Amino acid sequence: MYSLFIDTTSGLEIGLLDSSFTWLEYTSVKDLKPSEVIHYKIFELLKKYNLNITQIRCFVSSGPGSYTGMRLSEGLAQVFEMNGMKVYSFYHFEVPMLIGIIRGFWTTNAFKGQVFIYNWSEGISEKELINKELLSISDANLGFTIDNTEANFTKLTSTKELIKNQASKLFLKLLEKNMRVEPYYFRTLDEEFR
């Protein structure tokens, strides 16, 4: 069975995997808004491999990330589910744990002058939002982020790269756990749109 991968939490990452979770296609779109190209990119992949949307399952990142970006992928996931397609989803901050890394931290820009931090160690985890100026990274070797091109996070490992390079391990774990999570927003909707 083929699998479609969609991540619109920070830009657009889209790909198609074969039954052993080897990438047939993987595209990162940085120069256009995801909403401008996502439908066409999905259509292109399906057409190129002569697939019908009902013949594949879908893996979606549910955040954290931009509110609008997450709504885009979650909206597509819900449409796919309404049409009988199996959808799995995950959080970027859980990717290292899902592939077997037992200790570390994950951080990213949470907008509004804050950063989000997720720490875990041997099954215990905690999440927090802190003011950006309070961020101190003591051991970058244990650190992960969604996008390590941002100035504060250049020494951290990108979970986008982990997904790309460890697809089989990650997606098999998501299948095993039958994982489908709600979108993760940094703040409640009232706080976000106040």
* For residues 126-152, average pLDDT: 85
- pLDDT higher than 80, residue 120: yes
- pLDDT class of 124 with cuts at 50, 70, 90: very high
Strand segments (E) across the chain:
2-7, 12-17, 23-29, 56-61, 87-90, 103-109, 114-121, 124-131, 143-145, 157-158
| Confidence (pLDDT) at 67 | 84
- pLDDT higher than 90, residue 55: no
- pLDDT higher than 80, residue 194: no
Residue type for 132, please?
Answer: K
**Most confident option among 50-59, 88-97, 107-116, 133-142:** 88-97
Rounded to two decimals, the pTM is 0.93
Distance CA 117, CA 40 (A): 34
Reference 73, options 156, 11, 166, 27; nearest CA is 11
Determine which of 3-7, 66-70, 177-181 has the lowest per-residue pLDDT on average.
66-70
Kind and range of the H or E element at 43? helix 34-48
* For residues 163-177, average pLDDT: 97
Both tokens assigned to 186: 């940094």
